[in-house]
Amino acid sequence: MISYKSKSELLAKHPFALNFFKKRLLRFLLITAGILALASVGARLVGFQILPIFLKLPQALTRFFKLYLPPDFSEVSKLFEQLWLTVLLAVCSATVGVILAYFSALAISKTTGKIPVLRIGIRFLATLIRNIPSAIWAITLLMAFWFGEFLAFIVMALGTYGFMTRVFSDMIDETNTNSIEALEATGASYWQIIAQAVFPETLPVAVSWALYAVESNIRSSTIIGMLAGGGVGYLIGIYKHFRKFELLFTAVIFVVITILVADQVSTQIRKRIL
């Protein structure tokens, strides 16, 4: 056995014999430095500077307070009406999106998809819908549907559909194939198998995802309303456009409350059904 009298002697013979932790630290530092270098190059490219944010903080705060405070509560009834509409649109688009996504997932899942052409077609469609941001959908569909609640509904439903198709096809892939095989052996038809084996097993998860979809639709309703019309986002867009920031602040307060409540309600219900 070779023994070294001291650490320096070891390092003199094997300069790279750093211990495990030092190696790990070195690797970590190298990766961090690399990321930071890339980030600073990128920051310079887009003109991002972090320092002015801290330096100009007092001025920015005064300007913000002057513009947004005090909140103006004079249009609260109109606001509540639009908030209610937002909730309705969120639930409605989530339901439609989830139902369509469920059937699409049946068509593209490995266990239940039987028609290859349909599988490829729907997979392509869902990928296309999912990977184009909803704001872009709003701008684009505006040309065919015109501004308003209906466009907001379509945009939100598309968002839900794109996301949920992926989630549901994974979910159906994971369902127990034993019951499907057992039903197949009894000679049950395709839709009988779906109704008796796949549907009951996946319903609780699907409903919990539908709740999540409602929540995320309410979250995204601000931006969709601004671009597509309909709901509280539309109102916020108008306030922003006419620079009525005190009214905008009130709207934001109620949107935040709505989102917090929706978040809590959906978490509590999901806890109980799963």
Partner 1 sequence: MRVARNVFGKPKLKERTTSDILIRLLVITFLAVSAYTLFIRMEYKWDLFSAQTGLKFLARFIRFDQVPPKMMLDMVGRLLNTIILGVLTTLIGAFVGLVFGLLGARNLTNPKVSNVVKGIASFVRAVPTIIWVLIFVAGYGLTATTAVVGMAFHSFAFFVKSYAESFEEVDRGTIEALKATGANWFQIVFGAVIPSALTKLISWIALRSEINFTVAVVIGPAVGVPGTIGTMINNAARAGNYEVQGFGIILVFITAFLMEIVVTRLRQNSIVSNH
Q: How long, in residues, is the chain?
A: 274
Min dist CB 8 to partner 1, Å, is 26
85 binds partner 1 (CB under 8 A): yes
Please count the residues of this chain forming the interface with partner 1, following the rule CB under 8 A.
75
The letter for the amino acid at 256 is: V
| Secondary structure of 137-155 in HEC code, one letter for each residue | HHHHHHHHHCCCHHHHHHH
The structure tokens listed for 119 are 């599988």
CB 45 → partner 1: shortest distance, Å?
Answer: 6
If one asks whether residue 37 binds partner 1 (CB under 8 A), the answer comes out as no
CA dihedral 201, 206, 209, 214 (to 10 degrees): -150
Work out whether 34 is an interface residue with partner 1 (CB under 8 A): no
- Residue pair 104/165 in contact (Cβ under 8 Å)? The answer is yes
Separation of alpha carbons 265 and 257, rounded Å: 12
Question: Which one of residues 76, 142, 188, 238 is an interface residue with partner 1 (CB under 8 A)?
Answer: 142
- 100 is an interface residue for partner 1 by CB under 8 A: no
- CB of 139 closer than 8 Å to CB of 216: no
Task: Give whichever of 12 and 256 is closer to partner 1, judged by the CB atom.
Answer: 256
123 lines the binding site for partner 1 (CB under 8 A): no
Give me the least distance between CB of 220 and partner 1, in Å please.
8
Per-residue binder mask for partner 1 (CB under 8 A), 195-234, x = binder: --------xx--x-xxx-------xx-xx--xx-------
Binding string, residues 2-31; x marks residues near partner 1 by CB under 8 A: ------------------------------
Q: Which residue has the tokens 């961090």?
A: 32
Dist CA 199 CA 7 (whole Å):
66
Binding of partner 1 by 53 (CB under 8 A): yes
